[in-house]
Amino acid sequence: MDRSRLIVTLAMILSMISVILGFTGIAMSSRSAPFARASSDSFFTSGRSGIAVIKIHGDIRSGYSTGSSVGADDLIQEIKTARDSSSIRAVIIDINSPGGTVGATKIIYEAVKDLRKEKPVAAVITDIGASGGYYVASACDKIFAQQGSIVGSIGVIAFHGDISGLLNDYGIKISSMKAGKYKDSSYPFRAMSAEEKDMMQEIMNDSYEQFLTDVSEGRGQPIKSVRAWGEGRIFSGKTAKAEQMIDEIGGKIEAVQALKVLLKTNDDLPLFEKKEDFMERFMKSLPGLEQNRMASSLTNSHIYYLYPSSIQIIFESMQRIRP
């Protein structure tokens, strides 16, 4: 290799290293200051105390956030950061979610309930706070919603895809070898038996009762009242207030005033939101990631606290990937 080629090769290698280090630096700097004012300096360098806004926008899932889904792991870390920061005096949970998986929703509910023991917490529902979205909101000190917001949908749902007809059309046969009568009950290659449906129904009934119990505790309402809100019914924000499912009609402005009352202060408390790091922005830019994830819901055995309108998204996704 002559000298000129060697110089060019070294320059390219150094450039690649610089790019990698640059991306790493962006990601690390973003994580070092998790909350920032929307149009000001980093929260932790501003020297001011305020109210953290934690967003739950999209379906609630286990793991990490991707696209329009909210990952429980990311959210739990954000809640812990707000709880442990001496500069965060209260928290607003900004909810625009139809709910999500049972396990992830329960974990977030417990985290918000624990946060409430340390600092005042208010939920603000914008378009929708249904099923798991409302479940999480019920853990807060106060719940606000707009008059036309969709609230409620207290219930449990599960999907079991049966693609046996499709496989027959293509002449595909799948045999399962198992040890355990019900081991393949969640597989989409055949219809569920009556016994398997009963088994799944028992799990869903337990999850439903847990939903009712937790909302009853969070809202300070008798279980009888919460059961009257149940059966998957949805309510407008106006009706939800009359039913005492929420506390007031309003948004963040009203929530801030309520939190200041709970804090017994007249101080100016600015709102601070989490800064997305480089990897979060990158993942959200990937096309098709969320569609494939939603489509898989028809062929797994997850149990959801989910408002049923989200099924339309799943079917649209299935249409796009259908052969």
Q: What is the pLDDT of residues 98-131, one digit of tens each?
A: 999 999 999 999 999 999 999 999 999 999 999 9
Query: Given a cut of 50, is residue 322 above it in pLDDT?
Result: no
User: Terminal CA-to-CA distance of the chain, rounded, Å?
Assistant: 51
Tell me if 56 is assigned to some domain: yes
Query: What is the mean predicted confidence (pLDDT) over 17-40?
Result: 50
pLDDT number for residue 190: 85
* % the chain with pLDDT above 90: 54
Name the H helices within 220-272: 223-229, 237-242, 252-263
pLDDT number for residue 45: 38
DSSP conformational letter for 296: G
Range of the domain at 309: 34-321
Tell me if 3 is assigned to some domain: no
Tell me if 18 is assigned to some domain: no
Query: What is the mean predicted confidence (pLDDT) over 10-14?
Result: 67
Tell me if 147 is assigned to some domain: yes
| Strand spans (E) along the chain | 35-37, 50-57, 59-61, 69-71, 88-97, 99-101, 121-130, 142-145, 150-152, 157-158, 234-236, 248-249, 271-274, 303-306
* % the chain with pLDDT above 70: 72
Tell me if 308 is assigned to some domain: yes
pLDDT number for residue 47: 53
Tell me if 232 is assigned to some domain: yes
**323 or 218: which leads in pLDDT:** 218
Structural domains in the chain (count)? 1
Residues forming the active site: 131, 183
Query: What is the mean predicted confidence (pLDDT) over 17-25?
Result: 56
Q: Are 145 and 151 spatial neighbours (Cβ–Cβ below 8 Å)? A: yes
pLDDT number for residue 303: 78
CATH number for the domain spanning 50: value is: 3.90.226.10
Query: Given a cut of 60, is residue 297 above it in pLDDT?
Result: no
Quick: pLDDT tens for 54-75. 999 999 999 988 777 899 999 9
Query: Given a cut of 60, is residue 317 above it in pLDDT?
Result: no
Dihedrals phi, psi of 280, to nearest 5 degrees: -65, -45
Tell me if 5 is assigned to some domain: no
pLDDT number for residue 256: 97
Q: Are 140 and 116 spatial neighbours (Cβ–Cβ below 8 Å)? A: yes
Tell me if 180 is assigned to some domain: yes
Instruction: Report the mean per-residue pLDDT for the chain.
Output: 81
